[in-house]
Amino acid sequence: MDAVSDLSTDPLTTEPAPPAARGPLSRAVLDALTQGAPGTALSPSAGAVEAADPYGEDLQLALYVCYELHYRGFAGVHPDWEWDPGLLGLRGALEGAFGAAIRAGLPAVPNGAAARTALDRELEELLREPRDARGVSHFLRDEATWEQLREYFVHRSVYQLKEADPQAWVIPRLTGQAKAALVAVEYDEFGSGRGERVHARLYADLLRDAGLDASYGRYVDAVPAVTLATVNLMSWLGLHRALRGALVGHFAAAEITTAPSARRTVEAIDRLGGGAACRHFYDEHIEADAVHEQVMRHDVIGDLLAREPGLTSDVLLGIRATALLERRLEEHLLGAWHAGRSSLRAAPGLPPPIGSSGSYGESAPQEA
């Protein structure tokens, strides 16, 4: 097989199959995309968005599918659906419900000088972990089985196989030092000019090393809405210029908190006998994100708010929304694992969930 044909079938870049619907909203979206041409009327019932749980499986999948048209799309779906007015209208309603739910779950965001004081305080708090913290990465380090660690890899694959792509939407919406510094962070995320070092590629290597499928979008059917919501947040913030400050806040929060959790995940991989590619992905983030958090705080946020101080509340919103959705995911994962059950969905056409009579991918190394 020549190099061109080999690249053309790269599972990381080929269009994934559309996922299975999870309710009337996602069914209406998927039926339109797979059975009709752009311009086809969508068929959710009147009031369907208002009646749906904004954090539920149906709404979150429908929103994820709408957003995914701006990334890789889906096999067999016409690319013109990306800008179909009817679909964009429905997406706007879904975003409205999602955004309202997020804001309702957060404390009131202050304005003016109070916002800057609150922002400085929360950025400092992100750098200090409580001594008694017991999050997902602590569980992985100390207690997880190999199957639970691989389950975690599956959850994170929905974002990590397009790592830093949602954040790239904000680049043309920044200027000056904030723009230059954020591009420098993204340059590292995208491999510093080397395709084999792109972080999404490193995660694909991790999945294969763990006996999992590295195909883009392969595990969307397996992850629950609580996982999709963390990815939908990035797309929602990134695709709206009005939310550029919130996207910067989200990106800063992610970069500040990644290095400590990555270090614990390396320890989990070592304890459970994981392979070199599994370890390499997280090693890369220990080193890179320790630098990135300083750049994001001082050069990106600092310069952005010097130019546009009115965005301070939005930066704070992005930080708090990220924490809210990550906390919901953490509660789901730990709740399932402490109860001795899988945190993944049983999805048609997928192997049995981890923790049942089978598992995703090939056999795993023995626990140390």
Tens digits of residue pLDDT in 224-275: 999 999 999 999 999 999 999 999 999 999 998 888 899 999 999 999 999 9
Mean pLDDT of 102-127: 92
Residue where one domain finishes, among candidates 104, 120, 150? 104
137 found inside a domain: yes
Closest CA to 321 of 233, 244, 251: 233
- Pull the structure tokens for residue 81: 């659906």
User: 363 vs 184, which has greater pLDDT?
Assistant: 184
Report the domain count for the chain. 2
Per the structure, the complete domain to which residue 199 belongs is given by 112-338
Q: What is residue 2's predicted lDDT score, i.e. its pLDDT?
A: 43
pLDDT digits (tens, 9 = 90+) for 84-110: 999 999 999 999 999 999 999 999 988
Yes or no: say if 300 and 175 are a contact pair by the CB < 8 Å rule.
no
Yes or no: say if 15 and 73 are a contact pair by the CB < 8 Å rule.
yes
Q: Are 217 and 330 in a shared domain? A: yes
Q: Are 274 and 322 in a shared domain? A: yes
Percent with pLDDT over 70 in the chain: 90
45 found inside a domain: yes
Question: pLDDT band at 287, cuts 50/70/90?
Answer: confident
According to the per-residue pLDDT averaged within each range, which of 196-210, 276-290, 341-355 is highest?
A: 196-210
Percent with pLDDT over 90 in the chain: 77
Q: Are 211 and 241 in a shared domain? A: yes
Closest CA to 231 of 67, 16, 41, 95: 67
- Pull the structure tokens for residue 256: 């500040």
pLDDT digits (tens, 9 = 90+) for 181-235: 999 999 999 998 998 999 999 999 999 999 999 999 999 999 999 999 999 999 9
Strands (E), the chain: none
Q: What is residue 346's predicted lDDT score, i.e. its pLDDT?
A: 80
85 found inside a domain: yes
Instruction: Assign residue 273 the CATH number of its domain.
Output: 1.20.910.10
Q: Are 95 and 137 in a shared domain? A: no
Q: Are 99 and 135 in a shared domain? A: no
344 found inside a domain: no
Q: Are 72 and 116 in a shared domain? A: no
Q: Are 171 and 286 in a shared domain? A: yes
Residue where one domain finishes, among candidates 104, 136, 151? 104
pLDDT higher than 90, residue 28? yes
pTM over 0.95: no
Q: What is residue 368's predicted lDDT score, i.e. its pLDDT?
A: 34
